[in-house]
Structure 1
Amino acid sequence: MAALQLERRDDGIAVLRLDRPDVRNAMDTAMLAELDAALAGLAADQDLRGLVFSTTSERALCAGADVGEELDAAGGVARMEGFARLYAAVEAFPAPTIAVCVGNCVGAGAELAAGCDLRVGGDNLKLLWPGGKLGVPVGPARLVPLVGLAKAKELILTGRVVEAAEALELGLVTRVVAAAEAEAAALELAAALAQQPAANLRLLKDLFREYEGTKYRVLRENAEIIAFQREGAGLPYGGVRAGSAGTAPPS
């Protein structure tokens, strides 16, 4: 896995580390394909008690889409379909998921974090949903259940940065620690999950998913983002797109 590191631990916890530090783990088509394959394999493990999404760099969990990736129009659609598969796979993942939210969690990075069941924040956290700036119809499906409709509207429509203290206040993260300690804190949380029978965790997660109804909202939102790309607006790639320059992640 060129862009991912997968660690399988003896306690039934898996750690999936994003590993493109030179671009702050921005996701390109190849990385999305690796994530798709890794999540499919992990989801099939009936003994898995939890999955931690982490990073090899404290600078970012994920800075969003790789706007420097050279793509034609068909490639842009294929990449957006990859994002849709990622969001659906995280939403449907049968075992509890934990995100290590350090540095930039922007766009797809914010979506990945919001799609997880639990989140631990680093003190350098910068969360951002840039849909309002880029016109991408994504964000409400996962953010509204976490912070409520009014706050989700504010964060998505303004595209402002949410730093660690506010993320904790909003309940977006369960705790904030030094960035260097964030993965260890997430693994400590995962260790508590590892004490429970895997079947019990899966049953409870199914109940939560049914209660939240996120499956149907994510399916609708995924259809919207694919249509958005097909219609020629779309995410930036190759550095720019018509009518919009690619946006740099917050530093």
Structure 2
Amino acid sequence: MSDYQTLLLDISDGVATLTLNRPDRYNAFDATMLEELPQAWARLRDDGEVRAVVLTGAGDAAFCTGIDRDAVPTTEGDYSFDPYTYQDPGEALGPKTHGMWKPVIAAVNGMACGGAFYLLGEVEFLIAAEGATFFDPHVTYGMAAVLEPTLLAPRMPFGDLMRMMLLGAHERLSAARALEVGLVSEVTPADRLAERARWAAEAIASQPADAVVATVRNLWMAQELSRRQALDLGSFLLAAGNSVEALAEGQAFFASGKRVKPNVR
């Protein structure tokens, strides 16, 4: 189902699949997508049936290549702006910006570059196809790379992130190297990408929702606050996550005698 021009949305069995759907433009975001993505995150956030989300891009060429410069107006000639009032058009794209604390898994095929990191910097983890590549061409085209690397900083070693930003369009990070540095958690053949992302989302969605959401919020908080602040606030998340409903659901599963057959990564 989809009520959007630039997105596809399908919800089944507690899992939503949200697809950036401009494959002819490498899934770059235009003015319409800039409006629709925040709407979609709010919708998924408030839908009680949704417990996990897979975020992906249509086609094989790209997950997303950032802003579509042919579709979103840019300033030409004398370029100036007021840094105190400037709002980057991509800042409103990510799930966390819209209070979306249900887990979001990115399934990345093809290119992911530039403004794609507004999205990838706010998901829980990434699964990449073997042919996926990651790069940021900002400096090559005379633009400072600032907001995107800030979002990626917790996910990558400093040297690898700095190299990717400074080499711009001159180098692309392969899926294999992205796995080595921790940007992605799994690399899979392209024809299994959707299957692997769906498996992870379904496994997450099968677990008590309150416990999952509290865990997500805690881990984001832990990387943004000091250790002492995170531990102090963690007690409130324990109270929220260990709800009567979550504990009952989890204990009923344990008492049933059923056991999960784990994936070994």
Tell me the TM-score normalised to structure 1 length: 0.76
Contact kept, 8 Å, 2:17 with 2:53, in 1: the verdict is yes
Aligned to 1:61: 63
1:72 to partner: Cα distance: 5.8
* Structure-1 separation of matches of 2:65 and 2:177: 19
Task: Determine if contact 1:46/1:198 at 8 Å carries over to the other structure.
Answer: no
**1:89 to 1:82, Cα distance in 2 relative to 1, 3 A:** farther
Residues 180, 110 of structure 1: CA spacing in aligned structure 2 closer, same or farther, 3 A cutoff? Answer: farther
Partner of residue 105, structure 1: 112
Pairing 1:184–2:195 present: yes
Q: Is the aligned partner of 1:157 residue 2:166?
A: yes
Are 1:5 and 2:8 an aligned pair? yes
- Find out whether 1:204 has 2:206 as its counterpart: no
> Matched residues, percent identical?
27
Cα RMSD (Å): 2.4
Paired amino acid for 1:96: P
The higher relative CO (CA closer than 8 Å, separation ≥ 6) is in 1
Runs of at least 5 residues in structure 2 that lack an aligned partner in the other structure: 76-80, 226-265
Structure with greater proportional helix content: 1
Aligned counterparts of 1:166 and 1:150: Cα–Cα separation in 2:
13
Alignment equivalent of 1:139, drawn from 123, 142, 148: 148
Please, what TM-score do these two structures have when normalized by structure 2? 0.73
Q: Which runs of structure 2 are paired with 1:1-251 in the superposition (5 Å)?
A: 1-10=4-13, 12-69=14-71, 71=73, 73=75, 81-87=88-94, 89=96, 92-133=99-140, 134-159=143-168, 160-213=171-224
> How many angstroms does 1:189 deviate by?
1.0
Count of residue pairs brought into register by the alignment: 211
CA offsets per residue over residues 57-100 of structure 1, 9 Å max, x none?
12111111101115265xxx9x9644111136457421111001
Q: Report the Cα distance in structure 2 between the residues aligned to 1:148 and 1:166, rounded to whole angstroms.
A: 12
Q: Do 1:122 and 1:176's aligned partners in 2 also have CA atoms closer than 8 Å?
A: yes
Superposed displacement of residue 9, structure 1: 1.1
